[in-house]
Chains A and B, each alone.
Chain A
Amino acid sequence: MGINKLWHKLDDFLDLSKQKQEKKHNKLLDIITKLEAKKLELEQKVIDESKIDDTSDKYLELSKKLNVVSNLIRKAKKHDIGS
């Protein structure tokens, strides 16, 4: 067995890419948790605002933000599955 082959076997054994994948997964989980918390908070604000005036600029702004956060969560979950 050549030295190169031996090293490749050792590299595969100590596969550093797995560690990197795990680190990325943990980061994405952290991002998703934070975004989910933000979504809950926004949902409550949208409900509260709808009781006051569901045509106000503030209501529309909050709804837009809620929609954006939901999209970001969806994309983060997609990236996490992909990793």
Chain B
Amino acid sequence: MLKRIITPLLFLLFAWFIVSNNDAKTIIAGIAIFLIGMHFMEDGFKLFSGGTLEIVLERFTSTTPRAIGTGFLATAVVQSSSLVSVIIISFLSAELIGLTQAVGVVFGSNIGTTATAWLVSSFGLKIKIAHYALPMLIFGVMMQFSKHNSYRGLGSVLIGLGFIFLGIAYMKEGFETLKQGLDLAEYAMAGYLGVFVYIFFGAVATVVIQSSSATMAIIITALATGQIDYINALALAIGANIGTTVTAALGALASNKNGKRLAVAHFIFNIITGAVAVILIYQLKDLVDLLAPMLSISDTDDAMKLSLFHTIFNVLGVLIVAPFVKTLVRYLETLFSEKEKARGQAKYLTYEVMEIPATALAAMRKEIIHLYDKSVEAIVHALNLHRTQIYSEIEIDAVIEKSRTPIQINVDKIYQEDIKSLYGEIIRYASISQTHLDQAGNNQMYELKLTARYIIEMVKDVRELQKNLNYYAKSHNTVIVDQYNELRAQLITVLRKIQEVRDYEGDEEEIMTQIEVQKQSSKENEIRMNQAVDSLIRENKIDSNSASSLINDIGFTHSITKKLLKSAVTLWVKEAEIKVLGDEYGYQ
């Protein structure tokens, strides 16, 4: 109730403040335009990179130094630590990267985010950027009409840059005119009291604006127009770094355990970095004065010196915290642990992974492998076998000989309680995530969905096969027993071959060859066994009931084999050009 009254009142008060104060209006409009620019840049890079950013973040993070370097470069280029964070949380959720690499990327991202300060203090203040902003906006909007995502993305990046430049120009103009009436520099505070007061202001401003880059832009433009004192600006920059952890923590509240763990890592990093920067603020200021001439930064260029300070203290933070990454990760892993997922629940399909198309597809593939493994477990047990026997070196005949006793397993119950619910989640997730995918992505998602269907159909087929298998296992007619054992042997051969394909690390042409050989063998087996049934009937070795059951079960075995092999192509052959060489894969 109180909130309902206070919020509109605050808005009204703010509106009155803006309307009555022309200089503040210009500055705040500048901040708003700057934030819109950041938003366009982020969206633009998502479209423009077309998955490149995701590939870079996944592939070049194998060690902590590489992860830090990649986090730094990615954030500096796309000018958005939040975009990098979203991708990293998505990767963590799909288990494409580990927590150690993710923490490394977050550390690097902290250094990368200082690039915004360099952009503002160099281009933003040195040249009349508003002149460049307008053509950027014009060309950016024109590019939005393109049918290609890359051009549209580039257009959004240009619009973003245009708005960022325009925002800086407005902020600068606002501070310059404000100085004529009110000189904020008069409120400068010396000593550690000033440091703490301005750290507080920097943090609060960042929490309110929800962007440390925007706060840095305000600090730099205010400093460049002489509205704030240099040492107070340094404290404000430290405050902005601390404030950004609050923004990240608020964002992580609605996230999964990975998002929360990364927010804690971010918080710990920024608090340690902030504490070190506060303790050593005067020494760091001297270091900046020492390094500035080497980088051709003039002694009076406080804005550039502030950017250098911002970068130095973030690098220092990384140097201090990076050696303890493993300890930090061990601690993080103890936090926010989730209950073990119940049987029949998806392991990899979360809303975090849906935001990034490449991750959505990778997570879907992993989930279908999960479904495959569960289904194969049910199939193997229905055949009165154990997976340890299937994937061992033991001769197939010996495996069959050892496993004649029926395993008491209700495939129907497993299907209803375990597999069907997982399949349902897969279908639901595929339908939702397809709206975020382009045509090629949609084709891949369709192929994966089809594979999930094949997998559950295999379980249905084995349900039928199991009934006769157990019935004839007790038969005194050794001929029919042998025929059913042959069907089991055929399925063991295919399951072993698929396991080999899964473990194989050589070229995919060999994988495809192996799968095609199995397909051909399966066809030959079906024909040969049907002919054998005809002979057995003629020779009165089996009765007509047994024959009809056997013919049906030869069909079920062939159907299961075909579906196993089709699934193997989708799940373990990556190259689209090789996939299409298999039968039944029509689309490219």
Which A positions have Cβ atoms within 8 angstroms of B? 3-4, 7-8, 10-11, 16, 24, 27-28, 31, 34-35, 38, 64-65, 67-69, 71-72, 75-76, 79
Q: Which residue of chain B has the shortest Cβ distance to A80 in the bound complex?
A: B577
Q: Which residue of chain A has the shortest Cβ distance to B510 in the bound complex?
A: A38
Query: Which residue of the partner chain, among A31, A34, A71, A76, contacts B516 with CB atoms under 8 Å?
Result: A71
Tell which of B97-105, B140-148, B166-174, B277-285 binds the partner.
B140-148
B513 touches A (CB below 8 Å): yes
Residues of B within 8 A of A31 (CB): 509, 575, 577-578, 581
Query: Which residue of the partner chain, among B145, B507, B513, B588, contacts A72 with CB atoms under 8 Å?
Result: B513
B146 touches A11 (CB 8 A): yes
Q: Tell me the minimal C-beta distance from B381 to chain A in angstroms.
A: 30
Q: Tell me the minimal C-beta distance from B494 to chain A in angstroms.
A: 15
Residues of A within 8 A of B146 (CB): 7, 10-11
Cα distance A71–B145 in the bound complex, in angstroms: 45
Interface of A is mostly: helix
**Supplied contacts A65-B513, A67-B520, 14 more A-B pairs, CB within 8 Å:** A7-B146, A27-B575, A27-B577, A28-B577, A31-B509, A31-B575, A38-B509, A64-B521, A68-B513, A68-B520, A69-B513, A72-B509, A72-B581, A79-B580
A68 touches B145 (CB 8 A): no
Cα distance A72–B578 in the bound complex, in angstroms: 9
Q: Can you spell out 18 A-B residue pairs with CB atoms less than 8 angstroms apart?
A: A4-B145, A7-B145, A7-B147, A7-B151, A10-B146, A11-B148, A11-B151, A24-B577, A27-B575, A31-B509, A34-B509, A68-B513, A68-B516, A72-B509, A72-B512, A72-B516, A75-B580, A75-B581
Residues of B within 8 A of A75 (CB): 580-581
Q: Which 3 A-B pairs have the closest CB atoms?
A: A68-B516, A27-B577, A75-B581
Q: Tell me the minimal C-beta distance from A41 to chain B in angstroms.
A: 11
Q: Tell me the minimal C-beta distance from A24 to chain B in angstroms.
A: 6
Residues of A within 8 A of B513 (CB): 38, 65, 68-69, 72
Residues of B within 8 A of A10 (CB): 146
Cα distance A67–B517 in the bound complex, in angstroms: 9
Q: Tell me the minimal C-beta distance from B561 to chain A in angstroms.
A: 16
Decide: A64 near B517, CB < 8 A? Known: A7-B145, A16-B148. Answer: yes
Cα distance A64–B146 in the bound complex, in angstroms: 51
Residues of A within 8 A of B521 (CB): 64
- Among B506-539, those with CB < 8 Å from A are 507, 509-510, 512-513, 516-517, 520-521
Decide: A79 near B145, CB < 8 A? Known: A34-B509, A67-B520. Answer: no
A76 touches B581 (CB 8 A): yes
B142 touches A3 (CB 8 A): yes
Residues of A within 8 A of B150 (CB): 16
Q: Tell me the minimal C-beta distance from A37 to chain B in angstroms.
A: 9
Cα distance A49–B146 in the bound complex, in angstroms: 61
Residues of A within 8 A of B147 (CB): 7-8, 11
Residues of B within 8 A of A71 (CB): 516
Q: Which residue of chain A has the shortest Cβ distance to B141 in the bound complex?
A: A3
- Report, as a range, how many residues of chain B touch the other chain: 20 to 34
Residues of A within 8 A of B142 (CB): 3, 7
Residues of B within 8 A of A67 (CB): 520
Residues of A within 8 A of B577 (CB): 24, 27-28, 31, 76, 79
Query: Which residue of the partner chain, among A16, A35, A79, contacts B509 with CB atoms under 8 Å?
Result: A35
B507 touches A34 (CB 8 A): yes
Cα distance A34–B511 in the bound complex, in angstroms: 13
Decide: A64 near B581, CB < 8 A? Known: A31-B509, A72-B512. Answer: no
Cα distance A10–B154 in the bound complex, in angstroms: 15
Mark contacts of B537-577 with chain A using CB atoms, 8 A cut-off: 1 yes-contact digit, 0 otherwise.
00000000000000000000000000000000000000101
Q: Which residue of chain A has the shortest Cβ distance to B519 in the bound complex?
A: A68
Q: Tell me the minimal C-beta distance from B504 to chain A in angstroms.
A: 14
Q: Which residue of chain A has the shortest Cβ distance to B524 in the bound complex?
A: A64
Q: Which residue of chain B has the shortest Cβ distance to A20 in the bound complex?
A: B440
Q: Tell me the minimal C-beta distance from A68 to chain B in angstroms.
A: 4
Cα distance A50–B113 in the bound complex, in angstroms: 68
- Among B147-185, those with CB < 8 Å from A are 147-148, 150-151
Q: Which residue of chain A has the shortest Cβ distance to B577 in the bound complex?
A: A27
Residues of A within 8 A of B575 (CB): 27, 31
Cα distance A64–B580 in the bound complex, in angstroms: 20
Residues of A within 8 A of B516 (CB): 68, 71-72
Which of B151, B513, B575 gathers the greatest number of chain A CB atoms within 10 Å? B513
Residues of A within 8 A of B509 (CB): 31, 34-35, 38, 72
Which of B150, B151, B509 gathers the greatest number of chain A CB atoms within 10 Å? B509
Cα distance A78–B525 in the bound complex, in angstroms: 29
Q: Tell me the minimal C-beta distance from A7 to chain B in angstroms.
A: 5
Cα distance A31–B509 in the bound complex, in angstroms: 7
Cα distance A35–B142 in the bound complex, in angstroms: 47
Decide: A64 near B520, CB < 8 A? Known: A8-B147, A38-B513, A72-B513. Answer: yes
Q: Tell me the minimal C-beta distance from A4 to chain B in angstroms.
A: 6
Q: Tell me the minimal C-beta distance from B508 to chain A in angstroms.
A: 9
Cα distance A16–B438 in the bound complex, in angstroms: 16
Q: Which residue of chain A has the shortest Cβ distance to B583 in the bound complex?
A: A75
- Among B111-161, those with CB < 8 Å from A are 142, 145-148, 150-151
Query: Which residue of the partner chain, among B145, B151, B517, B520, contacts A3 with CB atoms under 8 Å?
Result: B145
Cα distance A83–B519 in the bound complex, in angstroms: 26
Residues of B within 8 A of A28 (CB): 577
Residues of B within 8 A of A16 (CB): 148, 150
Q: Tell me the minimal C-beta distance from B18 to chain A in angstroms.
A: 35
Q: Tell me the minimal C-beta distance from B180 to chain A in angstroms.
A: 43
Q: Tell me the minimal C-beta distance from A31 to chain B in angstroms.
A: 6
Q: Which residue of chain B has the shortest Cβ distance to A75 in the bound complex?
A: B581
